[in-house]
Structure 1
Amino acid sequence: MAGTYFRHLNYALGDEDSSVELQVLPPDTGRVVAVAGSGGRVIPLLARGPRELSCVDISDTQLALTELRVCALRTLEHPEYLGLLGYEPMPVARRLELLGALPLSPGARGALEPLKAAVAAGERIIYLGRFEQMLRTLSRVNGLLTRAAGRRLFDAPDLDAQRAYVTSGFPRSAWKGVLLLLGNSAVLNSLLYRGDFPKKNRPGSTFRIYQELFDRLFQDTPARKSFFLQMVFLGELRFAEGFPIEADPAVYRAAQRHARKCRIDFIQGDLVEEVRKQRDVGFVSLSDVPSFLPPAREQTFLEELKPGLAPGALVVTRGHLRVVTPGHAGYAHVTDRYQDVLARETTQLWTIHVYQREPSGAAGERFQEDLSHARGQAEPFV
């Protein structure tokens, strides 16, 4: 694993639309293991009702922030949760009161002391990570280059109007300058990764990748409904319809109900090793962990996971500029089953792969038959 990058609070909001994992995770899965991240990617998993959830991260600070979110989920009503994290306005004194009342472990409370100090100074939790600070810096540069014309993207009443504006009024020349900055690996290394930037292996220039990414977003996603576009252009979340899915009232209510009876563990360490130690894990959410593995191990991590997985277990991976394609003997590559879900993902930052652990023997033969007859639909969250 990369070293320096994981010693700090890198994500407080995150860069993933976890609606993908929410739809891929089958209801009532017995045991789930997930990268903790900011915790925002974990909350939606609880809405599916797993009986056990292990939140794993190499960073004690990220793990502590995840514990904060879970404690808040278990104890706070939805408006207070949004206010505590900073999605909605809340007096600083009330945020500090709620933060102090959460039943955090001593380790988590100690790890979050800098966060508490930032909250006392008026900062909102969801903007405190390095990634969010990088996006806020980018949004200021974006504002200088594209000015009010760029922000008018959010005035479009519907997707058709947005597409028309992108074609006829959007400041494309100035936007190209923003993309050149965003596509500069030296800039990203300096602002976010601190020397641990994963080596790009996707074909084409970084500029071209980002150009195509944002073109898809402009054409397919209303700007107000994308937390990522809000951060890039506005430097903050102003439109509730674009809040990440952890803030969705229905998801929150379901996650809260299940979190109160789910066994949830917070484990500092290597996620792949943690899965190996367990048994009958039914779902693994790896995020982009494979992008940071040593080259040899990025090819073998699925093999490493096998001892801890139940037959039929699902493993979800993500890659951004570096997309890992591991050996997957003993797995079915079932990404195509979720194409509708992936098409609705609201950041378009990620190449997402889904693998399913194949049973052995006669059960494996039946599994292959069932797989060949699958219609390729995720079971929707209601």
Structure 2
Amino acid sequence: MSAMTASVPGAVAIVATLDTKAKEAEYLSDVIRGCGRDTMLIDVGTTKTEPWAGGSTQPGRVASPAELLQQIAATTRPRIADLHAAGSISAIIGVAGGKGSGLFGEVVADLPYGFPKLLISSARPALLAELAAKNDIMLYPTLVDLFGVNGFTSRILENAGRAIAAMHYMPPPVHRTKIVALTAFGVTTPAVSRCVARLADAGIESIVFPANGAGGGKMEALVAAGEFDAVLDLTTTELADEVVGGTASAGPDRLKAAGSRPVPQLIAPGAVDMVNFGPPSSVPEHFKGRHFYSHTPYTTLMRTTPFENELIGRLTAKRLSQAKGPCLVLWPANGVSDYDREGGIFRDAVADAAWLSAVKRDLPASIECRELDCHINDPEFADTAVAWIVSQLQGKADANAHV
């Protein structure tokens, strides 16, 4: 294909193991250049020495494949970040099998949210799902293995090349509206919906994350990257899964990023009355006899016990104790989810109170725990939460004018 004059500043970086994917990478480069974009090949191959593949092991010892991949990632990741910072690249695409796909996920990890990242991959679906949970990588599964360019792979490479050629990074504006991150679950939707509306009344934008494990983890990463001005962490149910062993844990970094930035954060016990599993057959045997509810045919919820809620409360307080910025814990005395209300299937005031007692006992005196005589989905709860967030972002004198 004939190259055209590049109309978009910054090249498209092509990441590939050129010892095994050189033909695919070269074909991809031709497609992208034919669309008017410059390209930059970045070789992350493991069987030959390249400037991008560095690192060494102990003298006299040959690195294992896993160690070599870690070395390549450790060398390549900061250099790609430097290329972005210098404006040398404005999009990135990878073409890889299993090992290369995991490596691609590592080397693009420092690129900002919204920077175009596209991966053409023959890796197993489970690995691609892991990548999707960690970054905003666009995935193009090949369905066939990558062994050169043929009638099948050429179609994929052509489409992917044209797609990435049409993308380039648009950095956020220097002067923008304030943005608040929120967490939501189906059983806290009324509260979140009202928070979003009230924040909009105050001229503040809301970005909502599903508290399903991947959502909370992604929120933490974006908060750490400086994408948000405040966090309204209304739904901390992922901590229940972390403590009890459900399927929606966001991992050990949940509830840490806002405090380390620091940005104002409001914490509520949304849906800590439940632990998530898949269909009933997926529930571990040792939970037999517990209180369950089939939220959908594919989601089984288990009610937390007073002991478990105490552990969740202690973990909440422990992580919040490290916060360097403004922090408020807001407690709804009449229930923490749609299922945990008077007459609801998960209503257990004793179990809920165990969370509150643990938080109040272990929380530093510098962090307020405010109790409200309402349900989490009552308008009063959302209005109080938003009023505090607005007071932190716009000044207490302005808060009453907006909420």
Same fold (TM > 0.5)? no
Select the structure of larger CA radius of gyration. 2
The structure with more strand, counted as a fraction of residues: 2
Relative contact order: is structure 1 or structure 2 higher (C-alpha 8 Å, sep ≥ 6)? Answer: 1
TM-score (norm 1): 0.26
TM-score (norm 2): 0.25
The structure with more helix, counted as a fraction of residues: 1
